[in-house]
Structures are given as C-alpha cells and as structure tokens.
Structure 1
Amino acid sequence: MLVAAGAGDRLGADRPKAFVALGARVLLAESLERLDGSPWIDAIVVAVPEGWEEAAIVLAEELVTSKVAAVVTGGASRAHSVCAGLEEVPDEALVVLVHDAARPLVDDGVIERVLAPLAQGYDGVVPGLPVADTVKRVERGVVVETVDRDSLVTVQTPQAFPAHVLRAAYAGPLTDASDCASLVEARGGRIRVVDGDPRLLKVTTPADLALVASWL
C-alpha cells in the first residue's frame, strides 16, 4: 500500500505533497515506479487526497505500471487513509507492506529487510535509524530530562505486517498514530526493527524536497 494522501502544508505548494515536483516529475511517481518494479511487491493500492484520484490513475498509466490494483480516497488522517486502503487489499493477501509516498527513495534492499523477519513470527517489522543527536525532554521550554539515546531509533517506512494483524489493528477505534506499527503495538503486537536507510528521508519542507531531488 502506498499512502499519498498528505496535504503537505509545510511545503507551501498549491497542491498535495504527493503531486509536487520532484525533479522532472511529481513526488508520487518516484515511489510508485520503484514499488511497481520490485519483485517483492505483487499489487499496489494507492491512497490519495480527495479530488486527486484521477490524477493518480493517469500517472500510473503514464508510468506503465502493472501492479496498481486500486486508487482510493484517503482520509482526514494517515490512519484513516491506511484504513481506506486496507478495504481494497484482497482477503487472500498474507502480508501488507505500507509505505509513505513522502519517502520516495525506497529500494528493494529495505523492502527485503522488512519482509524477511515476518517468517519468524513477528507482528510487524519497521526500518529504523539510530538517534545521533542528544535528546532532551522539555516542558514549557525547560529541560526536565536528558533521554538515553542508546535505546532510541527513528522509524521509517515501508513497514510490513501479516495482513490479519494489520486488519485487526485497524478494526478498532483509530487514533492519531503516526505509523501503522503504533496501532499494532497498542494491541500487544511484537514489532521488529531492522536497519533503515538514511536516503529514505521524509519530505516535509522545501529543503527536504531539494535534498531528495539532488540524490536522484
């Protein structure tokens, strides 16, 4: 599943984040083409903002993608967008991989890393990077604690889950969880962390967009 329904307000663009220019084409095109070409992916469901469904379908046709099974209207939050996408995932699917289009430079290496541990019985697998900076907890502008960073990681996508586990996590009340793993964790699921990729930068600001474009 490719989640591309974010507004991207901090980019200051006149269109949703997934449809801003990244180099010579739109941001969504990069991750869509990469997932479509991956041997680890069988089918793709794309969630986009309301009113941009046709644009996503046209993009998929222009890229000559072969695995886009559905384009759905995303929701008010990421969790609602994933929920909408899950409705289009076939009942017989065993594994669901969820990726944010805002991280366009996904490759087969990280996809393989998040899929492999599912065979060991984990309820989900996420890519993560160690925290390099000192982390402090602050209240009202005052430091109240310096947090031990040795046990901290920043989490990326794609994230992989057994299909039945992810469906169960999204069957209950949806929270403002920033990723799928949070909802699985809330139900007691075991989440494995594997090596992430520094190039899987999440595009949030114009500076992020420019940096990712320089890596293409």
Structure 2
Amino acid sequence: MDVLDNYKKAWKNQPEEQNKHSAKEIYKLAHSKSSSIVKWIFIIGILEFLFWSALNFVIPDSFYQVYEDLNLTGFLKVFVVLHYIIIAIFLYLFYNNHQRVSLTDSTRKLMKNILRIRKTVKYYVFYNLATVFLISIVLNVVMFSDSDKLMQTMNPDNLAIDMSQIITITIISQVVALIIILVFLWLFYKLVYGILLRKLNKNYKELARLDALN
C-alpha cells in the first residue's frame, strides 16, 4: 500500500474539518505522482528518440545498398525527415502535458489532463507500430514490383541459381522479421508505457472518487 492509499484510508470517518484537510493532502499526492509519471513519459520518449537516431549511425552503409540499387534512398530520406518531425511533435506534446499537469490547480482539470495524456501516449504507440508496418509493406511492394531489376540487384554476376527460390526465401524472411520487430516493439511499449499509464489511471480513479465526495 503506497502513501496515497494510506491517506485515502485515513481520510474516511474523520471529522469534517480534518476530512477537508486530508482531501487536500490526497489531491497534492495525486498531483505530485501524476506530474512525476508524465515527466518520465517525456524522458523515455527522448531516450527512445536518441536510441533510434544513434542506431542509424551504427548501421553500416552496406545495409542500405540494396535500397540504393533500387532507387529507394530518396524515398527513405523523405520518410526519415517526416518521421523525425512527427516524433518531435509527440515529444513536444509530452512536454506540454507535463507543464499542464505541473500547473494544474483543481481536481477536475487534473483529471482532464490525465485523460489527454493517456490519449497522447496511445496515439504515439499506435503511430510507431503503424509506421514500422506500413514502411515495411511499401518498401517490399516497391522492391518486388520490378522483378527483373530485383534479380539484377540480388544476382549482379548472373550466377546459375534459382532466383525464384531466393525471392521466396527473401519474402518469408522479411515477413518473419517484420513480425518479430512489431512484437518486440509492442512488448516494449506495453511494459514501459503500460506501467506508467496504469499508475496514471490509478491516480485518475482516486481523483474521480475524491471529486465525487466533494
């Protein structure tokens, strides 16, 4: 049982004057905890952004060679720029949510801000998962739409190999890799942001009870 639960338990069956005082203490604790949670959402968002940005510098240029051979580098550059802009917008929203919570001075406003924060995080998670899925589909559709060019890229020396089998194996490996990446990302978001959102939701329920009794 945490401090907020202890205050809530002690609040019951008290004289009216003490009851009002305890209600203020419960609100202060819920406010403080909510502000801390939103701050961590913002920090984790920044760390995630820095991680993926640093990963781009670690991946060797040879990894992108196939995309260059298929004239997809221009598309990837445009996508990366747009993606970073959207992520920056989400980070701004996370920061703005933290400022809103920090400056909130009433129970109902804090409840409203908590609902806004939950929606923002859910949209952020959905955007990242949908982006990985869609970009993978688009790249693969473009790659396999011109089979002759793909075969030339994958077999520049015109070796006597069964290219149809190689392409089939490539498609299967791409699908498996996509599933693994999506599952990993979903588990990561479920673990990290899920824990924070559950704590935030608990604060919301406590504030709702407090508001109903006032």
TM-score range (shorter-chain normalised) is under 0.3
Q: Greater share of helix residues, 1 or 2? A: 2
Higher relative contact order (CA 8 A, sep 6+): 2
Q: Tell which structure's C-alpha radius of gyration is larger.
A: 2
After TM superposition, the score normalised by the length of structure 2 is: 0.21
